[in-house]
Amino acid sequence: MTSPTTTTKRVLLAAPRGYCAGVDRAVIAVEKALDHYGAPVYVRKEIVHNKYVVETLAARGAVFVEETDEVPEGARVVFSAHGVSPAVHASAAARSLQTIDATCPLVTKVHKEAVRFASDDMDILLIGHTGHEEVEGTAGEAPEHIQVVNSPEDVPGIVVRDPEKVVWLSQTTLSVDETMETVRRLRERFPKLQDPPSDDICYATQNRQVAVKKLAPECDVVIVVGSANSSNSVRLVEVALDAGATASYRVDTAAEIEEAWLDGAATVGVTSGASVPEILVRDVLDRLARSGFGDVQEVRTATEDLMFSLPKELRADLKAAGTPVPRPERGARQSLSVEPA
Ligand code: SF4
């Protein structure tokens, strides 16, 4: 926490923050689909968990639905970055829907791990949040082999068929520290527990947590920009508090910031979840500047340059039509994406 004698007001701005490669790709996929095919383009579930992004794409003609049976037969539907189960692919095929799969490749990687371990007849303990779309999609790859472990407290109740053949996997957007605690307890119960071949918690989730951990101990309050249903945004609030921030709040937009949060504060931390466009962070910084927090210092703990190519179905159609698919420069993308139509 900042010394009470410090009078200079400042903002510590986390970097990396905001859009990850999977979100960037999914949002561009919907934008390009709208440009290429015209509205409406149906999207199953929120393309990414951010209210502003969803509302902006809806204003351009995206129609968000909960399930494929709400999409007219034969129409085009985009699957969100969180991934879908084989059952959803099957139901889309049964309705002759034209699908564009914007599942993040790092989620697809976890799906493939689940399929492989299930084919080895292992019990898979999927650490994640029951009901989250990503967890539903991954669990749907091998429902007979997967059970969801929500937290370390779930561990005592787990029953497996053979304690020698157990592996853990995880949702991509969890708290690294809490997940490792869950794994530690799982290993106490199942000493032969296997690890995933590589980290399931993705680079973007980890990088954003490391950055907020670095600045939180110096902060009286940490403001996390992100929606309530964004797992990685909610985790950033928890990580900030665990790392020593006196207080931490999640906001969708700058308008939700309460002046009382800033009373007596000298240092305010700011970060944003992986589904948050930079324009919303800029609004928060402007809002804080109006309360005297105009001095913004970036705290960078990593540099990201990962980008994913567009979903193959969309790439093929764009290519066939001779439409160039420029790869946007990441920094520009963060500020230009999803401007209101
Ligand atoms: Fe992919 Fe990670 Fe972004 Fe999720 S948070 S879309 S897994 S890069």
Q: For the segment 271-294, what is each residue's pLDDT rounded down to a tens digit?
A: 999 999 999 999 999 999 999 999
Choose one of 24, 104, 233 to mutate for the ligand 1 pocket test, by most ligand atoms within 8 angstroms of C-beta: 104
* Ligand 1 in reach of 22 Cβ (< 6 A): yes
Give the orientation angle of helix 176-189 with respect to helix 203-215, to 10 degrees.
110
| 1 token code pair | 């926490």
- For residues 296 and 229, give the distance between their C-alpha atoms in angstroms, rounded to a whole number: 28
Q: What are the catalytic residues?
A: 134
Model pTM score? 0.92
Output the pLDDT for position 327: 62
- The percent of residues in the chain predicted with pLDDT above 70, rounded, is 93
85-94, 199-208, 226-235, 321-330: least confidently modelled range: 321-330
44-48, 205-209, 336-340: least confidently modelled range: 336-340
Q: Which atom of ligand 1 is nearest to the CA of 172?
A: 7
* Ligand 1 in reach of 138 Cβ (< 6 A): no
* Ligand 1 in reach of 280 Cβ (< 6 A): no
Round the average pLDDT of the chain to a whole number and report it: 94
> Are 59 and 341 in contact, with CB atoms under 8 Å apart?
yes
> Closest by alpha carbon to 172, among 224, 125, 127?
127
Q: Which atom of ligand 1 is nearest to the CA of 202?
A: 2
- For residues 121 and 125, give the distance between their C-alpha atoms in angstroms, rounded to a whole number: 13
